[in-house]
Amino acid sequence: MFIRRGLTWLRDKVASSARNFLLKIIASGPVPRHVAFVLDGNRRYARKHHKPIFQGHSDGFLALRRMLEICLRLNVRCVSAYVFSIENYKRQEDEVAALMGLAEEKLIEITQHGDLLDEYGVRLNIVGNKKLLPEAVQKVARQAEDMTRHNKRAILNLHMSYTSRDEIATAVSSCVREALRDDLADPRITEKDIDSQLMTSLGGSPPLDILIRPSGVKRLSDYMLWQCSEDTQIQFCPTYWPDFGLFDFIPIILDYQRKIWNTRRRISL
């Protein structure tokens, strides 16, 4: 038993060292400032592996932690994750309750053992219509945000109770209120005004460079439509989110680097 555990530890140690070495090499090239993930395929993953749906969502949170650490080792400045859409409230009541319970549990873990966020200096932002969340989730969300507010090196956006339409409508409403309050003679609202009032902008996020949707579905599902409307590279991957890992991510980063190098080459010519 002791030998088996020792061999397992050694195998994991070697794999971790090899992974970190590979990431260091990739990080020597152009690195995106902001990467977003749509956490899609949890339910299909659960059915494929004959697991309860709840377990699929739980494994999805483990995948998020895994990918967050990979991104941070690559020196990605901001990571966003589409955790729960406003549209998801239409799902069966027991599944919604289980998801909210899981969100509360993971946020409590952050407040009690925020080792990864503290190690990398990550600020947590809960992005979305928080008033729709259960009070218990709102409470721990505030605690987790407050606990990491001093972190300045990187940002983690958890989009919960979110849709892009709601974000844009909220931003426009904020612009209108400001224009009326300032009593401007020409109260026009510009694209720049709306952009400045987006939830991600208010949280200090840089422009979105890559948006990744796993599970084989090729649509944006009302996620950061404004942010990805110009220079964002949109990538689709067939892997279900709980299985998504380093070797799904590397080709995406290499493709991003290739496009950046090609752009720089054209400019230099």
HSE, CB side, 13 Å, CA atoms: give it for residue 163.
11
Amino acid 11: pLDDT: 53
Amino acid 7: pLDDT: 39
E-strand stretches of the chain:
34-38, 78-85, 122-127, 154-162, 210-213, 233-236
Amino acid 5: pLDDT: 54
Active-site residue 88, yes or no?
A: yes
Domains of the chain (ranges, CATH numbers) = 33-263 (3.40.1180.10)
Amino acid 104: pLDDT: 95
Q: Both tokens of residue 61?
A: 């949170």
pLDDT tens track for 145-190: 999 999 999 999 999 999 999 999 999 999 988 888 877 667 788 9
Q: Which of 40, 59, 157, 209 is catalytic?
A: 40
Active-site residue 40, yes or no?
A: yes
> Which segments in the chain show pLDDT lower than 70?
1-14, 114, 184-185, 269
Q: Which of 12, 42, 59, 88 is catalytic?
A: 88
Sequence-distant (6+) residues with CB within 8 A of 35 are: 71, 76, 78, 79, 80, 209, 210, 211, 212
C-alpha span between 202 and 176 (Å, rounded): 16
DSSP lists the bridge partners of residue 80 as 36, 157
Amino acid 152: pLDDT: 93
Q: Which sign does the torsion angle of CA 119, 113, 11, 64 carry?
A: negative
C-alpha span between 45 and 41 (Å, rounded): 6
